Amino acid sequence: MQTENNLEYETIQLYLNEGFQGGETTFVHFWDSTKNVSSIPRTGMVLVFQHDLLHEGAPLRKGRKYTVRTDVMYKPLMSKTLSNYDS
């Protein structure tokens, strides 16, 4: 997701509990589903990934899942016009 002033770069997800079934985050391989990678939540675990990676949250089958999610955004310090002078 790109905006005029910020560029989304990474997602940070903190897992606050266990004791539920399902709810894992799966990173999806575009062409070969046998190469998908699942991350099974554990209490206190932090998952950090580039948000533009293709991913999905599995349905929660039993219990409740509590998480905190935030995105790391950055803004370039110099504009492209200024950085062209370095070339």
Mean pLDDT of all residues belonging to the chain? 85
At 51, the amino acid letter reads H
Query: Which of 69, 71, 72 shows the shortest CA–CA distance to 14?
Result: 69
pTM higher than 0.75, yes or no? no
Query: What gap in Å lies between CA 86 and CA 13, rounded to an integer?
Result: 37
Query: CA–CA separation, 15 vs 45, rounded Å?
Result: 6
pLDDT at 7: 73
Between 55 and 75, the more confident residue is 55
- How confident is residue 13, by pLDDT bands cut at 50, 70 and 90? very high
